[in-house]
Amino acid sequence: MLSLQGISKGFPGVKALTDVSLDVAAGEIHALVGENGAGKSTLTRVIAGVFQPDAGTVRFDGRETVWKGPGDAKRHGVHVIYQEFVLFPHLSVAENIFVGHERRNRLGLIDHGRTRRDAKELLARFGIDIDPEALVRDLSVADQQMVEIAKALVHDVKLLILDEPTAVISGREVDVLFDRLRRLKQQGVAIVYISHRLEEIFALCDRVSVLKDGNHVATRTIDEVTRDQLIALMVGRNLAELFPVRRSAKAPGPVVVAARNVEVSGRVRGASIELRAGEITGLAGMVGAGRSELALAMFGAIPMRSGSLVVDGREVSGLSPRRAIDLGIGLVTEDRKGQGLAMLLDVAANVSASTLNEFGRGWRFDRAREKRVAEQEIASYRIACRGPSTPVSVMSGGNQQKVLVARWARTSTRLLILDEPTRGVDVGAKTEIYRIMHELADRGVAVLMISSELPEIVGMSERVVVMREGVVTGELSKSEISEEAVVELATRRLAG
């Protein structure tokens, strides 16, 4: 279905792809893996007609092809589901699914009734339980992802490219997605599957191609490569090195922050958690368990219906993000681009965002000092960029994440909450983020890590708290932590 020969693509000062060749057969699920910056996104955009290659040829459905643009590729059956959603938050689910392909009546006017009916039928066929009339802005991130997938399947798909499709879903939603992709495969659709979650590659894909530094390293069938070998091809690093051993073996310190009987309307029910100085605590559970809502409530970003936050033994009044920051609490949000980073600003401005008063007030803002501080953080956190003035929008996901961590590490003297800290970043960047978490804990900071990846929870946590449907179902000490124990608590039937 797709054959790439000798594809090269460069940008000013950057060679993104060099002589890349690979093919994807009809009825095949073909994984594309590599670190951030390996060239996966650029190659995807070449296939989808966003970029024209500087050299090489693209053959699609048996013919050499030069797309005039993304619309041309889409008309021929090439559809991409990007990691960053392309949805209209103020429109309904049905309207988003059929945007650009509106259902119309005989007079040429939009037929809203038919739009809702067709959307309901499509969602049901895909196994998605979402109200077609609901506004997208009111959906969870996981449900928004499912709408994005449903939107692509409206069309006649010959080649479907998915970029990190499970980054924001888990459990049943992943099973539903995999089932649908297997059905599309049986129908002869060629699928390119991009993911950093290697367990998904082995569970779903037929072949895997590895990119590194813009070069095609290897293509293997799934049954001829192991997880360790695949990581070695990607980064030259053994799997055993993925979760670094923490240098400090000190016992955890006193409780510095505690949430007591927190209620968040509709999402969290009487949840309590204690966080100790120098300890990395994992917060686990399925998507929708209320983990992020609990974190946001502890940071003062959403209101508690009831309950309290206790810092160093004293209950906090008037909790807000500003108050949390003053208390030494930081939050790296799950949605780094939508809620974390200022994408139009540079590294220096993003690093300083939570401590602006440190650099002056009003027109006396000390930009030179801000840049010096950013240079220190760039070196400390090994952020790959051209310097403090680099726009964060041009950086890889892993380096964007390290900018966010650098920002909050400057202010988080008591507690740093990390919500899905390695979502959508490569194996190498993950290891760097894990190293940073260890360094913060060694400095006496309490670290709360929310993660949907069980190997990450098991590999990094010194204690694990598990939630289900807004309720804390249990807690595991270091010696008790295992994937099986976490899953048992995450799926435990709730009393009543």
pLDDT of residue 273: 95
pLDDT of 129 over the 80 cut: no
pLDDT of 8 over the 60 cut: yes
pLDDT tens track for 53-77? 889 898 888 888 888 888 888 888 8
Q: What is the mean pLDDT of residues 194-207?
A: 88
How far does Cα 170 stand from its chain's mean position? Answer: 12
pLDDT of residue 361: 67
List the 14-24 sheet strands across, edge first.
Answer: 14-24, 2-11, 55-60, 63-65
How far does Cα 438 stand from its chain's mean position? Answer: 21
pLDDT tens track for 450-491? 988 778 888 899 999 999 888 899 999 988 988 788 878 887
- 259-272: buried (b, 16+ CB within 10 Å) or exposed (e) per residue? bbebbbeebbbebe
pLDDT of 364 over the 90 cut: no
Q: Cα angle at 258 between 255 and 264, to 5 degrees?
A: 165
Residue 11 pLDDT class (50, 70, 90 cuts)? confident
pLDDT tens track for 149-167? 788 777 777 889 988 887 6
Residue 493 pLDDT class (50, 70, 90 cuts)? low
pLDDT of residue 31: 93
pLDDT tens track for 422-452? 877 777 778 888 888 998 899 899 999 998 8
pLDDT of residue 239: 46
pLDDT of residue 362: 64
pTM attached to this predicted model? 0.58
For residue 13, count other CB atoms closer than 10 A to its CB: 6
pLDDT of residue 13: 62
pLDDT of 197 over the 90 cut: no
Helices (H), 89-171: 93-97, 112-126, 141-152
Range among 179-183, 304-308, 336-340 rated most confident: 304-308
For residue 361, count other CB atoms closer than 10 A to its CB: 8
Spell out the domain ranges in the chain. Answer: 2-238, 255-490
Three-class secondary structure of residue 432 per DSSP: helix
pLDDT of 340 over the 90 cut: no
CATH class as words, domain 255-490:
alpha beta
pLDDT of residue 320: 92
Question: Could you tell me which CATH number the domain at 2-238 has?
Answer: 3.40.50.300
pLDDT of 496 over the 60 cut: no
Q: By CB neighbour count within 10 A (0-12 exposed, 13-18 middle, 19+ buried), where does 447 fall?
A: buried
Mean pLDDT value across the chain:
83
pLDDT tens track for 213-259? 788 989 999 999 888 788 778 765 554 556 777 666 677 889 999 99
pLDDT of residue 414: 92
Q: 255-490: same fold as 2-238? A: yes
